[in-house]
Structure 1
């Protein structure tokens, strides 16, 4: 009872509760919301500044006499030769005009991916890159279905076309459109194709966002406009986010929310809707709740950690069943570890004063270690199995982002390891949500099997008072983050 009172008092001091006992309003969470707010605000300022500068460059083409002259010259030449074979003089003129336009582009408009000249009838008579839209009509065929075509038909003024998948360039593109007016007459458009690259780079920030945080843009159709930090392939206009999550944020316009993100993790988010050239974009800065809980755990004193570990183990709702028929394909002896990646189960037996560690990444690998008092985790100096496993995973098995999905199970009849074991796992890059602890003080020893195929760990506990076994599926055991949320205002 004294332990329970001590841990409640110490953690209440460390993590003060609010009147509503809400983690969202707690001081611990508010610190992270402020951090997310600052990141979001800075990114919004940076985005507005950059987009204004790009808009100013786009608008400057209207007052660019050189570029307007070349528009007129190229349009005239195009109409002369579009249905005939150009003569030598026309070819020379064509080469001169193209070279001159490219030089102006490189000097004044290189912020854009491509520059298109389109006449009043929709003829694309010039592009820098000369992709499949060159010498096509924007109002005909497949191009007529593009948002760019529809916008040009609707309006002769300044326009911004938000990012769409543009089949011609095979990448997401936005467009800045400026009408070409000569002596009061509209003769076509300057169309500046704008790639997402610079904005994407702007939002690739990881500083102050830990291992699980990110900041990104979402459009009104709920598609990400910048890449996910957690995906190898581009997310731009490919990853569509939850309607329940994103639509609510567009409606509320700004605020804080705890949501289940597109990776399936609970996350604290700071969000704001911004207007960019008439389009509505949602800026989201977020970090996983489990990383915050892990940070709070690391700030605890050694005694608080020890009390928490013991209290967590005493709180576990053990669900026992009859003895399992354990698979024993790969046997692990005391003071050794073994690895499987070919779906063969790992097995160890006679775990009494020792501890079993299982590191697993579903569908990829699993390690089992049978650790005795000779190991460093107990203060010994003859083996160092856990550090060897972690090094091997780093060297051969998992990239940094894959570590977020590794699960570690620590199983023993008695608690002989110290809190430094948990500290080492966190320092290695794990969150407390990835760690499960279980023990059975009624047991003399345990026999343990782990199936890589199902990512399931089964334990047969040999009871001290009875000559029988009781089985336990470790998947039913809560992780340390779930236990941490029980100890104060997280209830």
Structure 2
């Protein structure tokens, strides 16, 4: 019995030791997870890598299919027969042909168009060019028909240069093709008869299909996108965020793209074409003698905000310390005329050059929201609001619904600026969390708490880059530009 008691004690002791070790390990793991933004960022980059590879595979498969289709053209009896017929007609084009031959030719052409629709509709057009450069036929009958590709007016086109210097099968990279009034690429398929060059089938395809391959937003959040870039640093795909087409119009910065082509693949944190700091995965892709760059990217602000959502306690500890240690340089300021006054539980909207003002922010919270040079809203939120855990009003919800529904597009949401003047940290946390849940990022928000202020005021003139906070400290009045207040992404401890 005594031995059993000792054995039981040993088992309990062993289990306790293992439990303690597991507890210490779990606590250490939790601590690592809390502080490891770099690991979080690394996971995001791995997701971007997967997207880059996926897009490359889709592009490879598409180009492989369309290249194979282009190669078949010179073996296509219907195309070859029609080409030879057009060559023959070229030789007698000034002679009057019998009506039955003309009717037969029209029937053959009609059959050819049906053949094109059935077998070659992935191509925008097929040009038939003889060995002298004469464009003897095009499916779409565009103005290039009956012109010569070797004329000087075509000399700046890549198609001219390829045909002039090369009789082999080749590929012409995307360029704005004036005749079709859109970006186009071409497969050149030479036609030989008994080793003699008779001419070429030139199969034209637009960027539309490739653009649709890259038109995706899944797994890319609110700010991510995948783009294709050529060696001249022009986008070959449309931006997800710009309504006008960016294809062969939006040129990306040399200091961003040159190094990516040089490195071939990897990760970079850069400022993108819209002025946002982004993290990106990239891979260089070769097709014939063309070299393209695939980039998957997402705004760093979105990644940081997503990280914040899982580490709010850590962030607010950092924020409280930062608020206590802030030092400001105050400014001279005179009240502006014709101010729109905002009273308690009110929201006022202003436009360019108008001024809005609220005072008496002691236990209340002030919230300024503005889209630079467009509009601004100022709200004076009482302690009966949802951000104070009360139910009488929900001014933030009402304001964001109005802005989302009336004022902005989805892409403009990240352009909004937010200034919060809160009485204490608890309310500041609540309103910040609310804005984050509304899809706002940390780098859009500036926050000031009451501190030693008896009360505060907010003044903003629409069109200005910053607002003015009036602070009543004891019997002294001071003025603070919001340019002195850092965005919240600068307050997070990483």
TM-score (normalizing by structure 1): 0.91
TM-superposition CA deviations, 1:105-140 (whole Å, max 9, x none): 112111101011001111111111111211111001
Asked whether the 8 Å contact 2:388–2:430 carries over to 1, the reply is: no
Report the alpha carbon displacement of residue 60 of structure 1 after superposing the two structures with TM: 0.6
TM-superposition CA deviations, 1:212-255 (whole Å, max 9, x none): 11111110000000111111011100000000110011011111
1:294 aligns with 2:313: no
In the alignment, what sits opposite 2:12? Answer: none
In the alignment, what sits opposite 1:70? Answer: 82
1:273 aligns with 2:281: no
Spell out the pairing of 1:60-459 with structure 2 (5 A cutoff). 60-81=72-93, 83=94, 88-301=99-312, 303-417=313-427, 419-459=429-469
Distance 1:79 1:421, change over 3 A: farther
Out of 22, 47, 53, the position equivalent to 1:41 is: 53
In the alignment, what sits opposite 2:15? Answer: none
- 2:65 match: secondary structure: helix
In the alignment, what sits opposite 2:487? Answer: 479
Report the alpha carbon displacement of residue 27 of structure 1 after superposing the two structures with TM: 1.1
Distance 1:87 1:332, change over 3 A: farther
TM-superposition CA deviations, 1:319-368 (whole Å, max 9, x none): 22234434552111111111112431111111111110011111221100
Report the alpha carbon displacement of residue 275 of structure 1 after superposing the two structures with TM: 0.4
Report the alpha carbon displacement of residue 12 of structure 1 after superposing the two structures with TM: 5.8
User: For the residues of structure 2 that align with 1:315 and 1:283, how far apart are their CA atoms?
Assistant: 44
Distance 1:77 1:316, change over 3 A: farther
TM-superposition CA deviations, 1:242-283 (whole Å, max 9, x none): 001100110111111111111111111111111012210011
Asked whether the 8 Å contact 1:324–1:460 carries over to 2, the reply is: no
- 2:294 match: secondary structure: strand
User: For the residues of structure 1 that align with 2:346 and 2:97, how far apart are their CA atoms?
Assistant: 80
Report the alpha carbon displacement of residue 395 of structure 1 after superposing the two structures with TM: 1.4
Unaligned 5+ segments in structure 2 are 1-27
Of 453-462 and 321-330, more deviation after overlay is shown by: 321-330
Please say which structure displays the higher CA radius of gyration.
Answer: 2
TM-superposition CA deviations, 1:181-224 (whole Å, max 9, x none): 12322110000001000110000111111111111111000000
Report the alpha carbon displacement of residue 16 of structure 1 after superposing the two structures with TM: 4.2
User: For the residues of structure 2 that align with 1:250 and 1:386, how far apart are their CA atoms?
Assistant: 46
User: For the residues of structure 2 that align with 1:317 and 1:12, how far apart are their CA atoms?
Assistant: 31
Asked whether the 8 Å contact 2:340–2:355 carries over to 1, the reply is: yes
In the alignment, what sits opposite 1:5? Answer: none
Asked whether the 8 Å contact 2:428–2:449 carries over to 1, the reply is: no
TM-superposition CA deviations, 1:22-47 (whole Å, max 9, x none): x7xx2121101100000001111111
Asked whether the 8 Å contact 1:332–1:347 carries over to 2, the reply is: yes
Give the aligned length: 467
User: For the residues of structure 2 that align with 1:318 and 1:413, how far apart are their CA atoms?
Assistant: 18
Of 188-197 and 409-418, more deviation after overlay is shown by: 409-418
Asked whether the 8 Å contact 1:322–1:469 carries over to 2, the reply is: no
Asked whether the 8 Å contact 2:280–2:295 carries over to 1, the reply is: yes
TM-superposition CA deviations, 1:270-299 (whole Å, max 9, x none): 111110122100111111111110001001
User: For the residues of structure 1 that align with 2:426 and 2:35, how far apart are their CA atoms?
Assistant: 31
Unaligned 5+ segments in structure 1 are 1-8, 18-22
User: For the residues of structure 2 that align with 1:44 and 1:184, how far apart are their CA atoms?
Assistant: 37
Report the alpha carbon displacement of residue 141 of structure 1 after superposing the two structures with TM: 3.6
In the alignment, what sits opposite 2:7? Answer: none
Report the alpha carbon displacement of residue 442 of structure 1 after superposing the two structures with TM: 1.7
